[in-house]
Structure 1
Amino acid sequence: MGHRFYRIVRGMQSLTFTPGLAFLSSDSPTAPPWTVVFEDEGIAGYFYACDRSQTTHEESILDAMLIYNVDALAKSDAQLERPEAERIAAVEWSRDGLRAVLYLDGTPQGLYDFRERAGYCRMNFPNFLEEKGDTWRKSSHAWSEAAIQRFESELYGMAGSSDANG
């Protein structure tokens, strides 16, 4: 059986959980009022982008992305003969506090970009028709390998010395 490696990063918030019940909330360290929330209430795991300056809970949710379906995850674990049910969820913010990534067991599963007002996830779900007045892109949540590579290279200094966008 292979070993799994996890990045230990200052400021990364993490949670060890069993699929079916999890909650991890993480505030932007430098750009309030942005918050991301990973939540699993039994059927599925979702990743939310939130604006804490809004007055109601519903208004504060800018976007939601499906990360996994609990039954599908259990079936996959059984097929892979994965002995333990526990998972590790972690949220990491960009240095400017405008992007956050959700990692499950060390693999990026969702990314929110508050500057671009867009989310990316491996499930690319749910997607909605654009509506007049929308301030957040919800028509696509397609995974972007380029976006995660940009996030990680900026965070860990693997790219050039500066980013033209910010």
Structure 2
Amino acid sequence: MDSFTFRRGKAWFSSDSPSPPWALVFEDEGPTGYVYAYDRTRADESAILDAMLVYNNGETTDPAREYLASVQWSRDGQECVLYVEGSAQAYMNFAARTSFCRNNFPNFLDDSGRPGGWRASSHAWEDATLSRFEAALYE
């Protein structure tokens, strides 16, 4: 598990899959925090396979507070979860080309044309998928 401390408003980190070329990238440049599914073999904007809103900085009452973020990868390196302060915020499945987040944002009407065929029509939270992912860590 990769862990990072950060302050809202200015943060960036990445966590590489144990099975390249996948990575989770987190970015907070002020108003929002986003997480990206990333393909390290691509050199242009198509390297970003999907993007999801983790939070709006207007939601915090203490901008100077440090937060702990962790990324847990599945054993095969095809799935990962971003945790902030121990709470799962985003899930990515690189094999299935799907992801979801607590905010279910952004969503697009059409999945066609997305890099790598990534689903973008819904980022709705899936408790059952998260439970399966976490249970598999202890098998």
TM-score tier after normalising by the smaller chain length: over 0.9
Partner of 1:18: 7
Determine if the alignment matches structure 1 residue 122 to structure 2 residue 110: no
Partner of 2:50: 63
Alignment map for 1:45-56 (pairs within 5 Å)? 45-56=33-44
Does 1 or 2 have the higher relative contact order (CA < 8 Å, sep 6+)?
Answer: 2
Question: Structure 1: which amino acid aligns with 2:9?
Answer: G
TM-score (norm 1): 0.78
Distance 1:150 1:102 in 2: 15
Query: How much has 1:16 moved relative to structure 2?
Result: 1.0
TM-score (norm 2): 0.93
**Percent identity between the two aligned chains:** 53
Runs (4 or more) in structure 1 with deviation over 4 Å come to none
Distance 1:131 1:65 in 2: 15
Question: Structure 1: which amino acid aligns with 2:31?
Answer: I
Query: How much has 1:149 moved relative to structure 2?
Result: 0.4
CA root-mean-square deviation: 1.5
Q: Deviations over 1:119-139 (max 9, x none)?
A: 110000000121434401000
Bigger fraction of residues in strand: 2
Q: How many residues align?
A: 137
Bigger radius of gyration, 1 or 2? 1
